[in-house]
């Protein structure tokens, strides 16, 4: 076991994938000699060179389009969108080309592209540098959407994403880059090495995990809000409410079966994410839980998330983002039934 930050774990995962497969290449704005604005790719250009770690122009659509062409030629490109708010110029390439080409070609073309997206808030960034657009892409068939909440998951998921034959949107919670945790670097390696790094070990990508066991309420989160959910669960436990915390890990496909199994036992559910609750991933999960566990529910499924406003500037960010008080309020409300 090695103690790493989440940023360090992603770096180590990228390095392991590049060592394993010479077709894995990195591309993005400032990811080369600079090592990325968050230093996630630090040292990789020095060790792998210009041919495999490539600085790109400031052109997100061009970055994704180039990655699509590289994947069609047999490479496994991993591209970085420097900040979440600048992914929208590439939206057309991602949703109309990357997500659909495998289906349109009846399986003849595979596009194993990984798009790394530092996302969400909590760092006091300026306008357009804090967004949570995951639901926009989860609505598009053909894309996998994952988000790690711990260094261990970051290390495992980035390698599984690269090995996956499907295009993967890898949403990295930028406020958690400096969170530290223990990482077992052998856990995923054996699976991936089994068949030269491709496809093996990717089944876990779509599976949720129980981050904390409980009996009274199921609290569901992913990415940046998992730590928040655990903090709320700890406080609720001091008042006698046993809260189970589930980390979705994957937004699409969504492991609603694990959530439903938990809710059938607890009878109550609260979903937490930073994105607006309107038409969000929490709404989809709430619908699935209601459809599949209606007669087990003691209270309506509640959602805690961002508001139906543009992401505010740094000064008002903490008024917008979910906090412990808002989560505990939702837990209290479902416990009243």
pLDDT tens readout for residues 16-56? 999 999 999 999 999 999 999 999 999 999 999 999 999 99
Structural contact between residues 137 and 167, judged by C-beta atoms closer than 8 angstroms:
no
* 199 and 223 co-located in one domain: no
Mean pLDDT check: name the lowest of 88-97, 135-144, 306-315.
Answer: 306-315
Q: Which two tokens stand for residue 120?
A: 């969400």
> Are 181 and 37 contained in the same domain?
yes
- Regarding whether 225 and 155 lie in a shared domain, the answer is no
Asked which of 161, 182, 205 is the last residue of a domain, the reply is 205
pLDDT tens digits for range 179-232: 999 999 988 887 776 545 445 556 678 899 999 999 999 999 999 999 999 999
Residues 155, 4 contacting (CB under 8 angstroms): yes
Domain boundary among 205, 227, 262: 205
Integer CA distances (angstroms), 214 to 98, 115, 222, 269, 298, in order: 40, 35, 17, 12, 16
Q: Flag whether pLDDT at 280 surpasses 80.
A: yes
182 and 216 in one domain? no
Tell me the two tokens of residue 110: 């595979």
CATH of the domain at 224: 3.40.50.920
The predicted model scores a pTM of: 0.94
Domain that holds residue 102: 2-205
Q: 275 and 221 in one domain?
A: yes
The residue-averaged pLDDT of 319-334 equals: 96
- Both 181 and 262 in a single domain? no
Question: What confidence tens digit (pLDDT) does each residue in 248-275 have?
Answer: 999 999 999 999 999 999 999 999 999 9
Examine the pLDDT at 298 and tell me if it is beyond 70.
yes
Q: Which of 259, 45, 251, 10 is nearest to 151 (CA)?
A: 10
Q: Which band of pLDDT confidence, cut at 50, 70 and 90, is reported for residue 87?
A: very high
Into how many domains does the chain fold? 2
- Residues 119-128 pLDDT 10s: 999 888 888 8
Question: Among this protein's residues, is 337 annotated catalytic?
Answer: no
Residues 183 and 275 placed together within one structural domain of the fold? no
Last residue within a domain, chosen from 205, 235, 269: 205
CATH number at residue 55: 3.40.50.970
The catalytically annotated residue of 45, 102, 128, 129 is 129
Is residue 169's pLDDT more than 70? yes
Average pLDDT over residues 59-69: 96
Q: 242 and 176: one domain?
A: no
CA distance 262 to 283: 18
Question: Domain check: are 158 and 113 in the same one?
Answer: yes
pLDDT computed for residue 191 by the predictor: 73
Whether 153 and 229 share a structural domain? no
């Amino acid at each position: 076991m090695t103690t790493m930050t989440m940023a360090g774990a992603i770096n180590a995962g990228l390095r392991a994938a590049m060592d394993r497969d010479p077709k894995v290449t990195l591309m993005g704005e400032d990811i080369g000699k600079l090592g990325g604005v968050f230093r996630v790719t630090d040292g990789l250009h020095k060790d792998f060179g210009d041919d495999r770690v490539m600085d790109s122009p400031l052109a997100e659509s061009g970055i994704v389009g180039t990655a699509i062409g590289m994947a069609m030629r047999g490479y496994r490109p991993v591209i970085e969108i420097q900040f979440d708010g600048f992914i929208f110029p590439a939206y057309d390439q991602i949703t109309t080309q990357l997500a659909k080409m495998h289906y349109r070609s009846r399986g003849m073309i595979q596009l194993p592209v990984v798009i790394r997206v530092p996302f969400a808030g909590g760092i006091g960034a300026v306008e357009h540098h804090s967004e949570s657009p995951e639901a926009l892409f989860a609505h598009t068939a053909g894309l996998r959407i994952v988000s790690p909440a711990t260094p261990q998951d970051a290390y495992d998921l980035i390698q599984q994403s690269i090995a996956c034959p499907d295009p993967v949107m890898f949403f990295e919670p930028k406020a958690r880059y400096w969170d530290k945790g223990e990482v077992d670097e052998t856990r995923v390696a054996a699976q991936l090495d089994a068949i030269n790094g491709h496809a093996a070990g990717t089944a876990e990508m779509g599976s949720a995990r129980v981050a904390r066991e409980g009996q009274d309420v199921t609290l569901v989160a992913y990415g940046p809000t998992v730590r928040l959910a655990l903090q709320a669960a700890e406080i609720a436990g001091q008042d006698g409410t046993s809260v189970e915390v589930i980390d979705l890990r994957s937004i699409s496909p969504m492991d609603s079966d694990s959530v439903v199994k938990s809710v059938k036992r607890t009878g109550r559910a609260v979903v937490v994410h930073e994105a607006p609750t309107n038409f969000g991933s929490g709404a989809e999960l709430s619908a699935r839980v209601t459809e599949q566990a209606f007669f087990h529910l003691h209270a309506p499924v509640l959602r805690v998330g961002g508001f139906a406003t543009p992401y505010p500037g740094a000064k008002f960010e903490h008024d917008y983002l979910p906090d412990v008080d808002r989560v505990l309020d939702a837990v209290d409300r479902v416990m009243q039934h």
